Structure 1
């Protein structure tokens, strides 16, 4: 069967992050593909950029879409938070770590001060709910989470719900990973994963035995307790199928709690492939996948995957 056949799959599989319930897979591909082409051109791969298309084939691009998986759970989640300690714990851990990242790394002095104050104030509360209220209110006030900085209205609410559900609900986690696994076919050469999608893609790649290049963008994979200690394979390491792993992180991207993932993901047993992290500048929208993809490092990683042996 030709690798351009209707069931062959695509050479490039994209995996989106949180807060995409208002978009479709096709819309996301149309947003990401031009940015990926820009990254390829910036890396000197103009001809390859011109050949990349949406759809199946060796130079085809498709989105592993999973945002709709959360829909049946989100409506009930508000009530579940009051009774489900796993969800409440996950939201508390996530909120705490985002504020800790802002307190130590944000380039906005006001954000650093606000995060430090909220963490100190929240630590004085005996009630978990009072602590969560203080911390979540502080997150909403950070410059990073204001409209125009993160491209989604109500991003904090979306993030808290979706990350908590993925982290603590086995059915949600399985369903998300199944979507990604279905998109990775023998044609696939590179997986490009953003935000929460990088966590799910990493877990899927632990079960795949074909060579794959991995590009992660704004990844929270190193986030302790919420993700890192909950990964299926322990201790975590570079998936054995991965022939190269490039990780891009903007220092102002609070979702990427650790800018360098190499210390947390050593080579797989018997392998030498390491995660290579690059700190880049996404300007006014530090977590935006489109801005990440436009960088030379993103284009170089994808270009090498599609032109290599």
Structure 2
């Protein structure tokens, strides 16, 4: 049976899902050729090796009439979460012995840290939104974050980064009462094939969304706590559990202890029961992927599957985009191998 390849994107502005699907597939093809799988590329780009889908939810962050922060930097609660996220990411980058920093990068990171967490009584500390925008302005000079902002303003970049906080704050209900995070997961769930094997490739915020979606489909809900392989409330899912032989995560923020981990459901973090293998890739210059060794804190599922984290090193400052990761032979190689094996079953 032809496997389904489901791409789950991360933060960002409005996008053309068809164009992004084409870009991500071309990036995988490039990486696959470099990994020595050139003969298999035509099957991927031609569509006979996998049924590729792009789970797009970016428009939900701009839905007219939704409650919440819209497309700006967010309300105070969102901004506080974003400040926590950036602060821990900065601290991890400063403390990483395997990623030496230049003097200029060190100064920028330390200055951003002071902006995010000013000492008591400091003048001009300002509201959370102001602290976040000021820190992002500083961080846009640092590799890994510059990739997120590009030519955009610090305020726009802060708004995009704030999408992580908006998802995790479980707010912004629509007219039916469905919160933003629930509507986003529904988009991803609709792309999964309940009948055949799925290979899920998730990037950035999409790694959180994909993890929660797979748990939710398995158990019927993503909320609550519980042990790996068991429903948080003991109730079976009303939806057929998809088979996911391979989950690939790229530039994931799941390792951020203060702002992300406590808010991800279920808690503590665990591998979804449907996942047969989990590969997690990170770049040392990707500040979003703070604490990238997910296997140190993600609990195994019933078949003992935990993430296997692997470092990749991209050239230049633009390291966070999904296409940058997918063009890496270390990422594309095992992805194409898995798709080929599933297609030949």
Same fold (TM over 0.5): yes
Select the residue among 183, 199, 203 that pairs with 1:175.
183
> Residue 85 of structure 2 aligns to a residue in which SS?
helix
Select the residue among 293, 303, 311 that pairs with 1:279.
311
Query: Aligned equivalents of 2:333 and 2:273: distance in 1?
Result: 21
CA pair 254-147 structure 1, distance change in 2 beyond 3 A: closer
More helix by share: 1
The equivalent residue for 1:156 is 157
> Residue 310 of structure 2 aligns to a residue in which SS?
strand
What displacement does 1:108 show? 3.9
Matched, 1:210 2:242: yes
Report Cα offsets for 1:208-249 as digits up to 9, x if no partner. Answer: 433311011101111123221112112211111111111110
More deviation in 106-115 or 23-32?
106-115
TM-score (norm 2): 0.76
The equivalent residue for 1:97 is 88
Paired residues of 1:53 and 1:61 also in contact (CA < 8 A):
no
Runs of 4+ displaced beyond 6 Å: none
Matched, 1:114 2:108: yes
Paired residues of 2:111 and 2:138 also in contact (CA < 8 A):
no
The equivalent residue for 2:25 is 33
| Number of residue equivalences | 296
TM-score (norm 1): 0.85
Q: Give the RMSD, CA atoms, in angstroms.
A: 2.7
CA pair 124-180 structure 1, distance change in 2 beyond 3 A: same
CA pair 181-33 structure 1, distance change in 2 beyond 3 A: same
Matched, 1:61 2:52: yes
Report Cα offsets for 1:114-134 as digits up to 9, x if no partner. Answer: 222342463314587356534
Structure 1's unaligned 5+ residue stretches are 5-9
> Residue 295 of structure 2 aligns to a residue in which SS?
coil
